[in-house]
Amino acid sequence: MNAGAAVSIAHVSKRFGALKALNDVSLTIGPGMLQCLIGAPGAGKSTLLRCIGGSETVDDGMIQIDGASIETQTARQGFVVGMIPLRPAMFDHMTALQHILEGPLARLKLSRRETVTEAMAALGRVGLADRRDSYPGELVAWQQRRLAIARAVAAKPRLMLFDDPTAGLDPGAAAEMLGVMRDLAGSGLTMIVATHELGFITEVGDDVAFMAGGEIVEQGPPRSLLAAPRERRTRDFLATFSA
């Protein structure tokens, strides 16, 4: 696994018409950190992830990865940002193995044998080696999300973005998904995760930021912020988990 990237977000704002989805957001994430984002739906978490990943442009401010803009970094040979959205895009006519062979590994210019070996390693890492010949329609939601992770990991990313990866999953599937993410976090990869899994945040996260109304209301070490938040809006949000 490549070394994790450093991410700097400075005074970023993003508008969709009259809606200000992000308002003066600033955040610094060191190499290899697991940065968690919490907040109610519409808080701006997904928009921030898309801006970091480069699929949305910012209206104001700047996002830098290792000191260069996201546009500059993604244009460089060998630099990859892996994005795991809530509903990953799949190709119905391609098997799980083909999703990796024809996608991220194609750009690495490996031999066919090396490519298949890397692809199977990626599937094995997320527990899908036995589903190599399965099509997306034969995979349930949690398996499709794991396939998206395998596809991203195979490209040797330095930064991974996760948008509510356990949403809609039953407790068993959610626990297994979090196990995959713990493994990735332990590899030194920089990860930014929007999640409502407070136990995962406390156990694995290096930092957590609470967002509301497109702003970062409060940020700090997970154990202290989740146990004793300073801001009323943070306390009100966390109270919904114990109600």
What average pLDDT score do residues 85-96 get? 90
Q: What is the pLDDT of residues 186-229, one digit of tens each?
A: 888 999 999 999 999 999 999 999 999 999 999 999 999 999 99
Q: How many Cα atoms are found within 13 Å in the side-chain-facing hemisphere of 51?
A: 30
- Averaged pLDDT, 23-42: 96
Q: What is the mean pLDDT of residues 79-102?
A: 87
Q: Determine the pLDDT at residue 78.
A: 55
Six-digit token string for 210? 């609470």
- Where residue 1 falls among pLDDT bands split at 50, 70, 90? very low
Q: Are the CB atoms for 174 and 21 separated by under 8 Å?
A: no
Q: Cβ(132)–Cβ(114) under 8 Å?
A: no
Joined together, the tokens standing for residue 164 give: 């509510």
Its CATH class, for the domain covering 1-80+157-243, is: alpha beta
**Which among 73, 71, 2, 74 has a CA at the least distance from the CA of 31?**
2
Between the CA of residue 121 and those of 41, 96, 105, 118, 145, what are the distances in Å?
Answer: 35, 13, 12, 5, 17
Q: Which of 196, 172, 210 is nearest to 27 (CA)?
A: 210
pTM listed for this prediction: 0.91
Write out the residue limits of the CATH 3.40.50.300 domain(s) in the chain: 1-80+157-243
Chain segment 131-175, per-residue pLDDT in tens: 999 999 999 988 999 999 999 888 888 899 999 999 989 999 899
